Structure 1
Amino acid sequence: MREKVMPVARMHVTRRGLAALAALPLAARAQPAWPDRPIRLIVGFPPGGPTDFAARILQDPLQQAWGQPLVIENRPGASQVIAAEAVAKSPPDGYTLFLCTSNLTTNPAVFTRLPYDTERDFTPIVIVYSSPTVLFTGPDQPFRTVREVVEAAKRRPGMAASTSGVATSGHFATEMFMRQAGIELTHIPYRGAPPALQDVVGGRVPITFSTLSGAMPLARDGKLRPLAIAAPRRSPAFPDVPTIAEAGFPIRDTSPWYSLVAPAGLPLPIRDRIAADVQGLLRRPDFVRRIEEQGGIVEGDGPAEFAARIPREIAINTEVARLANIRIE
């Protein structure tokens, strides 16, 4: 009897093994390789601005690398809070990405409440490039150096300085510059960079801190005069313009950066694939040239470096916001 039972048992095991083997291709098909459908790239600002440019410079080469459409979706408002909330609430499947700026680390410092947790609700992937904050003056102003601006501000306490808005990189740079130089400026926040720059061009405001990418056309046409780069190194677009530290007034780098972020929980193979593909683009001379033509400086920090940078910048921004009493309700 035992000899008759054993073959039946063996046959039973063999059939189970065959069934398991037959099921493997089905499991593989149930979890297709990423990507197999279009990917959303959410941008927290309107079309046509520096952030939108950063998204569009990535769009074509990444579509070619991934074999799927990369659909740009502009969701402007509230210093990219609206866009960030939408990303934080999206599935972490690699089909929703966020082309975000350094507002990611300034918003926690200035907003009383946010509908997401910056350090918990996102997967940092890669920082693509930064655009240095620059101290500009108008062509009819007498200033040729940063020190001349400081001397004028000491003679005229409360001299006006425009920026593109409250809690922007320009605002943070203005506050730190005042403290470093021992001067008092009257901060005039505008609704965006164009009107802030135009009032400097027209001579109504003597100076502004603005991103180079936003001011590049006016600077190239001689309608704005760059005095100093508020970044660790000079810009390839204006190599003769010193850094603000070289001019004798070192302040923390406030250059906004443009990065790719995903919802928290993004699978590591997808995260690493995206980071590697973008870092590959940053080694291409033609791609780097397009960034530098817009006043950008290539970065390339990957997931680990990017993740470490976020809490560090939040802490610094929080201290600057506290000293300058910058709050948004």
Structure 2
Amino acid sequence: MQRRTFKTALGLALTLAALSVPQLAVAQAWPSKQPIKLVAVFPPGGSVDQVARIIAQPLQQQLGQTVIVENRGGASGVIGTAAVVQAPADGYTFAVVFDTHGVNPSLNPSMPFDSKKDLVPLVLVGTSPMVLATHVNSEYKTFADVIAAAKAKKNVSFGSIGNGSLGHLAMALLSKDAHVEWTHVPYKGGGPMMSDAVAGHVPLSIGSVFVTKPHIDSGRMRPLAVTSSKRAADLPNVPTIAENGYPGFEAPAWWAVLASAKTPPDIVKRMNEELNKVLKNPDVAKKLDAQGIDVMGGSVVQASTFIDKQMNIWSKVVKDNNIKAD
């Protein structure tokens, strides 16, 4: 009986060892086999594309392997992320995602992947405040003016980069906190939204520092408040929404790098280390700062905790406000 038990245990151990050999071989050979692909899950020109390209060059130098940025836009990042989930989990295909990744599961009931189970965050690249802004000749001189107009039942409308975007959800959350109502005007991205905002066609806009600050600097837009818990370094004179009487209010834009959850743990660990090294590069930090991004970095666990929290916060807002995707 003891001999049979021993043979069974030995057989199981050998089977497990045999199964681990392919993954071990992949991890040991990585990244010498082929170029590494960073899938930017939005089209060229936007912040996700910029972040991917800023990261790619120093990562290539560190790893001694070509790093290619491939844009796979569509469905608020779902199409590009799905491509990474479906690719071989060998450490050669990664996703660079935006904050829509934390919103998509609650907006899209037929997602082609499970955002929590099928993906592992490698690193939180950084966060950025969103800016509530208005045309320089607008009647709204302060954030308090906006709230007063809404409380007076005036038709206060705002533009965002799209239905179900983080800006849309942040304003929905603020609507509940302030007990006011406003009208949402969704656009197909930051470019169209800011074009209308600068022309005065929509009285308020909410978007990242990346899309808003150039128009503030040109003197055509007036910033009223930022959605971060602290004032933005790029806009130190602009108060937070929390400062305006809504303590605890926070809705940051964010960027992260993800891998398939089936990626060998050794590669996940190595990529986390390499990406943190990239983010500590002064030149990279300077370029990200120019995009209005506060560099974060940190462990896989820290990135997972942050993203899970974002998913939980915004799923409640989507449900409470019955928000539907386009």
TM-score of the two chains, using structure 1 as the length reference: 0.87
Deviation for aligned residue 1:294: 1.4
The one of 233, 237, 245 equivalent to 2:242 is 245
Deviation for aligned residue 1:239: 1.3
Is the 2:131–2:227 Cα contact (8 Å) retained in structure 1? yes
- The one-character-per-residue Cα deviations of 1:164-209 (angstroms, maximum 9, x if unpaired) are 1011111011111212222211001011111211222111211111
Q: Given the alignment of the two structures, is residue 39 of structure 1 paired with residue 6 of structure 2, yes or no?
A: no
Deviation for aligned residue 1:102: 2.0
Is the 1:112–1:327 Cα contact (8 Å) retained in structure 2? no
Residue 136 of structure 1 aligns to a residue in which SS?
strand
Deviation for aligned residue 1:284: 3.1
The one of 290, 295, 312 equivalent to 1:293 is 290
Is the 2:55–2:284 Cα contact (8 Å) retained in structure 1? no
Map 1:3-18; keep pairs closer than 5 Å: none
Partner of 1:197 in structure 2?
A: 194
The one of 311, 315, 323 equivalent to 1:314 is 311
The one of 75, 86, 100 equivalent to 2:83 is 86
Which stretch shifts more, 74-83 or 155-164? 155-164
Distance in 2 separating the partners of 1:231 and 1:312: 15
Q: 1:31 to 1:66 in 2, by over 3 A?
A: closer
Partner of 1:170 in structure 2?
A: 167
Q: Given the alignment of the two structures, is residue 324 of structure 1 paired with residue 301 of structure 2, yes or no?
A: no
Distance in 1 separating the partners of 2:188 and 2:202: 15
Partner of 1:157 in structure 2?
A: 154
TM-score of the two chains, using structure 2 as the length reference: 0.88
- The one-character-per-residue Cα deviations of 1:95-137 (angstroms, maximum 9, x if unpaired) are 0010011222200111121010111111211011122111111
Aligned-residue CA RMSD in angstroms?
1.9
Distance in 2 separating the partners of 1:121 and 1:284: 30
Partner of 2:47 in structure 1?
A: 50
Q: 1:91 to 1:242 in 2, by over 3 A?
A: same
Aligned residue pairs: how many?
A: 303
Distance in 2 separating the partners of 1:242 and 1:284: 30
Q: Given the alignment of the two structures, is residue 97 of structure 1 paired with residue 94 of structure 2, yes or no?
A: yes
Partner of 2:270 in structure 1?
A: 273
Is the 2:133–2:221 Cα contact (8 Å) retained in structure 1? yes
Partner of 2:21 in structure 1?
A: none
The one of 120, 138, 157 equivalent to 2:135 is 138
Distance in 2 separating the partners of 1:238 and 1:52: 23
Residue 128 of structure 1 aligns to a residue in which SS?
strand
Structure with the greater alpha carbon radius of gyration? 1
Partner of 1:126 in structure 2?
A: 123
Q: 1:216 to 1:77 in 2, by over 3 A?
A: same
The one of 72, 77, 82 equivalent to 1:75 is 72
Is the 2:26–2:90 Cα contact (8 Å) retained in structure 1? no
Unmatched segments (≥5 aa) in structure 1: 1-27
Distance in 2 separating the partners of 1:252 and 1:116: 30
- The one-character-per-residue Cα deviations of 1:50-103 (angstroms, maximum 9, x if unpaired) are 110011110111110111111111111101111111111112111001001122
